[in-house]
Chains A and B, each alone.
Chain A
Amino acid sequence: MTHLPDRLEIRQIDDCRWLIPRQGRMNADGLVFADRPLMETIRDDQSLRQVANVACLPGIVGRSIGMPDIHWGYGFAIGGVAAFDPDAGGVISPGGVGYDINCGVRLLRSDVTLDELRPRLGRLMDRIMRDVPAGVGEGYDSDDRTLTAREVREVLARGATWAVERGYGTADDLAHTEAGGRLPSAEPDRVGGRAVERGRAQLGTVGSGNHFIELGCVREIYDERAASALRLGLGSVAVLIHSGSRGLGHQVCTDHLEAMLSAASRYGIELPDRQLACAPLTSPEGRDYLGAMAAAANFAFANRQVMSHRVRDAFAHVLERSWEELGLALVYDVAHNNAKWETHRIGSAERRLCVHRKGATRAFPPGHPEVPDAYRDIGQPVLIPGDMGRYSYVLVGTATAFAETFGSTCHGAGRRMSRRQAKKSVRGRDLEREFRERGIEVRSASRATVAEEVPEAYKDVADVVRVVDAAGIGRRVARLEPVGVLKG
């Protein structure tokens, strides 16, 4: 069964926008944000076809959207956004969220300057590596850090609030986390025993792949007013933490995809790709997944909260001052893999939609009630990590994003090379020394992971952020350069 013509029609609208007009069985147009050079690389893989495939799903509202860091995913492209209306047969698709449910990034700021930190940087990275497990199979094995199945279910219900109640952070942290670090729609009972088992030793762990803890130095400020509201000072050290719901989330996705495969045919939904398996938002299968996904999202919020606590402890130990004295406050924690109920204006009416963001960051504008009070005038902070050698960006959400992309923007650099190509390209090089010569202390559980994640394996995130800024779907505030990186 063919859903799309062999040659997909794509039209350039302006310097940053490309339209995939409705064709074949598409129920909506596609819209991709990219400049011409980025579009050349995007055309190399299957991601544009994936944007069009998503537009074939029932109940899609507005457009199927691709961000400038879009790349070939499974089912949905990575860097895709799509909203569905429950009253128009709209669907929920686990493939539109991804295996790593609520994968996201948080940023801690500090009053520590790089000059102050530099002499103790190596020791600090050693300490973080000791205290925060990273890598494959790295979980907690001591009894006091491995949770019982019952505790995992409490985490699934309460998210980051569970962690804060146990002393891993403060109420202020929750106020600076998307959704307060807890999705109330979570239904832990819909998460299977296998997923819970996989989560027991993994709360407060980084994982592998592209996840990391990174110490960065604020090197450039583009918007003084916003940087001041976010309390980011030039030359100061900040911490980025990128991780998600770990094996627990992967298992939730696997379990529910299987259920949705049979559900899709039962509801008469023809799938252009099995990985787009989905069910109506109002169906029992759809509601099951939504409850389980929100629970896994809560696990991810708690995971990043516990890691923040351990990073703060490491700073306090090595710099011999409390983390409060060091000013290690949470700037924001935002997800880039989830599906959420949100209200958006479509034409003249407000509608409650389920917005899928897979490798796309929520970017709500100034004045939106879900933006923390401290940022109400500047917009929601958006955290865009680059690769481990160049830079990362802090942006804020905009009214244009809210109007055009359901309040979403890019999430990172996007890979340029496959993992195999990357490993091949660095054969024989001493990566640890190369990073040290660039002033970056790298710690890693596996050399292979560092080889797969070398900077040249990624596109330049500056190119992605430039398009986002020019298109108005995010506004640049500051640029950070890495000085210490912990990888899995």
Chain B
Amino acid sequence: MSGRPGRGSRIRSPAAGRPGVAGLPEGVRELDHTADVGVEITAPDAATLFDRAARALRSLAVPGVAGSARPADAEEAHTHTLELAAADVAALLVRWLSELLYRIDALGLAYDSADIEIEQATVRARLRETRLPEPGAHIKAVTYHGLACGPRPDGSWRARVIFDV
């Protein structure tokens, strides 16, 4: 399942996200997968879905450092602008998360919140990030396995993505 947003979807995500069950962000549910970890994400629109997916990635990749919690050992926020495109919105979700994972693992910069704009299969975002005590992530990669992302009949959005641990 991969849909295309009919028109642009845009949000400015709040810095302080409300954690959902098991420390995951609101609208995110962990799926059991024997070797890896998967999440199902629901949101009212595409941009919110991308924000929630980013927060889920962060909470799984850097579990000791909760999003927006401003831990004492993390330095002040950092901003970064990016634009990514893909063949469809599901592949775009993997690109988006892979980009954010690279930033955690190689640069030590973890997603905090963002202004996100999604049009067709392109995302433009101004990221606000937290500098981690050191680079590194508990997950290796974002996979295309069992990937799904798109609108539901009621207009809300749902995605499923599996991370390689």
User: Does A209 contact B165, Cβ atoms closer than 8 Å?
Assistant: yes
User: Does A247 contact B106, Cβ atoms closer than 8 Å?
Assistant: yes
Count of residues in B whose CB is under 8 Å from the partner chain: 35
C-alpha spacing A261/B121, complex, angstroms: 15
C-alpha spacing A253/B105, complex, angstroms: 15
User: Does A275 contact B87, Cβ atoms closer than 8 Å?
Assistant: no
User: Does A71 contact B140, Cβ atoms closer than 8 Å?
Assistant: no
User: Does A253 contact B34, Cβ atoms closer than 8 Å?
Assistant: no
- Of B90, B95, B137, the most chain A CB neighbours within 10 A belong to B137
Chain A residues with Cβ below 8 Å from B137 are 136-137
* Given A71-B35, A198-B106, A262-B87, A136-B138 contact (CB < 8 Å): yes
Q: Does A250 contact B (CB under 8 A)?
A: yes
User: Does B134 contact A419, Cβ atoms closer than 8 Å?
Assistant: no
User: Does B32 contact A275, Cβ atoms closer than 8 Å?
Assistant: no
B104-127 interface (Cβ within 8 A of A): 105-106, 108
Q: Does B74 contact A (CB under 8 A)?
A: no
User: Does A254 contact B98, Cβ atoms closer than 8 Å?
Assistant: yes
Q: Does A251 contact B (CB under 8 A)?
A: yes
* Given A274-B147, A277-B144, A194-B102 contact (CB < 8 Å): yes
Chain B residues with Cβ below 8 Å from A415 are 34-35
User: Does A100 contact B140, Cβ atoms closer than 8 Å?
Assistant: yes
Chain A residues with Cβ below 8 Å from B90 are 274
B20-41 interface (Cβ within 8 A of A): 30, 32-37
Q: Does B17 contact A (CB under 8 A)?
A: no
User: Does B37 contact A420, Cβ atoms closer than 8 Å?
Assistant: yes
Q: Does A72 contact B (CB under 8 A)?
A: yes
B141-161 interface (Cβ within 8 A of A): 141-147
C-alpha spacing A78/B112, complex, angstroms: 34
A404-423 interface (Cβ within 8 A of B): 415-421
* Given A71-B34, A418-B32, A420-B32, A137-B102 contact (CB < 8 Å): no
User: Does A194 contact B106, Cβ atoms closer than 8 Å?
Assistant: yes
A194-218 interface (Cβ within 8 A of B): 194, 197-198, 208-209
User: Does B140 contact A419, Cβ atoms closer than 8 Å?
Assistant: no
Chain A residues with Cβ below 8 Å from B132 are 137
Chain A residues with Cβ below 8 Å from B140 are 99-100, 209, 247, 250
Chain A residues with Cβ below 8 Å from B144 are 74-75, 95, 257, 261, 273-275, 277
User: Does A418 contact B141, Cβ atoms closer than 8 Å?
Assistant: no
Find the A residue at minimum CB distance from B132. Answer: A137
Q: Does B19 contact A (CB under 8 A)?
A: no
- 1/0 per residue, CB under 8 A from B, across A89-115: the answer is 000000100111000000000000000
User: Does A137 contact B136, Cβ atoms closer than 8 Å?
Assistant: yes
User: Does A273 contact B145, Cβ atoms closer than 8 Å?
Assistant: yes
A87-146 interface (Cβ within 8 A of B): 95, 98-100, 135-139
Q: Does A73 contact B (CB under 8 A)?
A: yes
C-alpha spacing A138/B106, complex, angstroms: 12
- 1/0 per residue, CB under 8 A from B, across A244-271: the answer is 0001001101100110011000000000
Chain B residues with Cβ below 8 Å from A420 are 30, 32, 37
Chain B interface SS verdict (over half): loop
Chain A residues with Cβ below 8 Å from B102 are 194, 198, 251, 254
User: Does B141 contact A250, Cβ atoms closer than 8 Å?
Assistant: yes
Q: Does A320 contact B (CB under 8 A)?
A: no
C-alpha spacing A306/B142, complex, angstroms: 28
* Given A72-B33, A419-B165, A138-B136 contact (CB < 8 Å): yes
Chain A residues with Cβ below 8 Å from B165 are 209, 419
B34-62 interface (Cβ within 8 A of A): 34-37
Chain A residues with Cβ below 8 Å from B63 are 448
Chain B residues with Cβ below 8 Å from A197 are 106
C-alpha spacing A254/B100, complex, angstroms: 13
Q: Does B135 contact A (CB under 8 A)?
A: yes
Chain B residues with Cβ below 8 Å from A448 are 63
C-alpha spacing A257/B94, complex, angstroms: 11
Q: Does A45 contact B (CB under 8 A)?
A: yes
C-alpha spacing A156/B115, complex, angstroms: 39
C-alpha spacing A117/B140, complex, angstroms: 35
A218 nearest CB across to chain B (Å): 29
* Given A254-B98, A257-B144, A261-B144, A418-B138 contact (CB < 8 Å): no
Chain A residues with Cβ below 8 Å from B89 are none
- 1/0 per residue, CB under 8 A from B, across A218-247: the answer is 000000000000000000000000000001
Q: Which of A198, A247, A418 contacts B34 (CB 8 A)?
A: A418
Q: Does B76 contact A (CB under 8 A)?
A: no
Chain B residues with Cβ below 8 Å from A135 are 136
Q: Which of A73, A208, A277 contacts B35 (CB 8 A)?
A: A73
Find the A residue at minimum CB distance from B108. Answer: A137
User: Does A75 contact B106, Cβ atoms closer than 8 Å?
Assistant: no
Chain B residues with Cβ below 8 Å from A73 are 35, 145
Q: Which of A98, A247, A251, A261 contacts B91 (CB 8 A)?
A: A261
B56 nearest CB across to chain A (Å): 14
Sorted from nearest, which 5 A-B pairs have the closest CB atoms? A137-B136, A74-B145, A274-B144, A275-B145, A74-B143
What are 20 contact pairs spanning A and B, CB under 8 A?
Answer: A71-B34, A72-B35, A74-B143, A74-B162, A137-B108, A137-B133, A139-B136, A198-B105, A209-B165, A251-B102, A257-B144, A273-B146, A274-B91, A274-B145, A275-B146, A415-B35, A418-B33, A419-B37, A419-B165, A420-B37
Q: Which residues of B contact A (CB under 8 A)?
A: 30, 32-37, 63, 87, 90-91, 95, 98, 102, 105-106, 108, 132-138, 140-147, 162, 164-165
Q: Which residues of A contact B (CB under 8 A)?
A: 45, 71-75, 78, 95, 98-100, 135-139, 194, 197-198, 208-209, 247, 250-251, 253-254, 257-258, 261-262, 273-275, 277, 415-421, 448
